[in-house]
Each structure stands twice: as structure tokens, then as C-alpha cells.
Amino acid sequence: MRPMVAECPADVQPEPAMPQPTTALPHFRHAALMGATGLVGRHLLPRLARQFERVTVFGRREPARMPLNASWIRTDFTDPGALDLSGVDQAFITFGTTMATAGSRADFRAVDLDMPYGFANAARAAGTERLFLVSAVGADPESWIFYNRVKGELERELEKLRFPSLVIFRPSLLLGEHPGRAMEQLSQLALTPFRRWLPATARPIEADELAQAICNSAASAPEGTHLLMGADLWQLVKAPVPRQRDQ
């Protein structure tokens, strides 16, 4: 039987319901976020700030809006050994780029594989037990598509770190503001009108909805490795129930 889990605070909450048994942590202390200025990270940061006592943001740029209980540590992620994640209970990675922005395959791999892995490795070494990663539909270390292959390689390497809990999200097209990303903007215009009729795996998802799903999953603190996409991901937006990934 799947455990019921607690939802994190959303912008508008329904009337309180009768408390249900959950596997949620007794309380949430310290979260670390990599990618707070990106499309998903901008929505996730304020939610984490409401759920955790403290949030540490790692990145090149300080977020435009910093919650009172959040702090920013400037880093370019080129030296994972310099990252201090001591005391972090749960770490979140919503970090990535595009081939057009990176400029080369080597630079894309550095940003989408080496840097997130270095961050996760530093977190695990510091004692962090739960890691949450935003990946992509089609991620596969054996894929002939370079983008999907790099995403799959990162997932594979993170599994090797043996976090007690690893949750991987594979959303389809992310809806929201994509400054400087013309292809994403065009895809949104083309697919949004048909969103409700698309299969769950291919259905575009609002960045805000994905942030809510991540937050809901964090509230459950499930053990093991979990892969969330398609119907499972959409269910998590409203009723969080991560599925155990086949080993």
C-alpha cells in the first residue's frame, strides 16, 4: 500500500481537513536549492521557505526575491569541494541550460551533468539524505539524442551516490517565461491549446505546478529511488504518491 503524504503549503489553501497518517518528517529544518533563478526554481524557493525552517540557495546570481529565512551563497559550481552543505536535510536541483546557451556539447555537459553531480556529491558527503532532481522526459544514458543522454547519465550517476531517498522528476515541456529561449516559447504557443487532450507523459506542465509537485514529494520523505513522470507526476501535483523505481 502506498503511504499517504502531507502536502506543502500552496498559495491558496482549502479548509483544514481531518489529519491523516503520513510518512512526513516530524519537522523540516534545512533545505539547499541549486537553480533558484531558473524557471522552476523561482517558483520552488518561496514554497521551500514556507516548508523549511531554513533554505540555503547556491548559485551565480542572487534571486530577485529572497524569503526572510533564506540565504544566498555565491558559487559557479566549478569547485564542488568548496560547497558547504553541512546540516542540509534535503537538497533540490532545478538547474540546467540549453545547447544554444551553452554553445558546445562540452559546455552543456559541464552545466547539466558535472555541476549538478558535484553539488549532489557534496550534499551526500555532508550527510544529506534526500535529493530531488528535475530531469526531463526521454532521459536515457543510452539515448542517441545528446540532450536526453546527458540527462540520463546524470540520473545514473546520482543513483550511485546512494541517497536514502532520491526523487527524479521527468516533466514534459515546462510552461512559463523562457527568456532567450525561442523554441520553448514557440512550443508553448503550439501545444498549450491542446494541453488537456495530450497523453500524460507529453502534456506540458506549468513551472508552478511542477514546483508544487516537488514540494509535495519533499513532504513525504519516501525511502528509495523514485521516478515521477506522466500520470504519476500529475497525481503528485494534487495528491502526492511517489512510485518506487524498478531497480
pLDDT under 50 in the chain at which residues?
A: 1-6, 11-26, 178-191, 194, 197, 240-244, 247
CATH code of the domain containing 99: 3.40.50.720
In the chain, the number of structural domains is 1
Q: What is the pLDDT of residue 237?
A: 80
On whether residue 94 sits in a domain, the answer given is yes
pLDDT single digits (tens) 33-58:
999 999 999 999 999 999 999 999 99
Asked if residue 62 belongs to a domain, the reply is yes
Residues 6+ apart with CB under 8 A from 212: 8, 10, 47, 237
What mean pLDDT is reported for the chain?
81
Angle at 43 between CA 82 and CA 153, to 5 degrees: 55
Position 27 scores a pLDDT of 56
In a domain, 12, yes or no: no
Range of 110's domain?
A: 30-238
Return the residue matching grid coordinates 499517504: 4
In a domain, 5, yes or no: no
Task: Tell me the CA distances in angstroms from 180 to 19, 156, 184, one per residue in order.
Answer: 45, 30, 9
List, for residues 210-226, the tens digit of each pLDDT value. 999 999 988 876 789 99
Distance (Å, whole) CA 115 – CA 95: 9
Q: What is the pLDDT of residue 9?
A: 54
DSSP strand pairing (165-169 vs 224-228): parallel
The amino acid that residue 216 corresponds to is N
Residue 147 lies in a domain: yes
Residue 17 lies in a domain: no
pLDDT tens column, 175-203: 866 444 444 444 444 445 545 545 555 56
User: 215 — phi, psi (to 5°)?
Assistant: -65, -40
With CA atoms as reference, report the closest residue to 158 among 245, 38, 43.
245
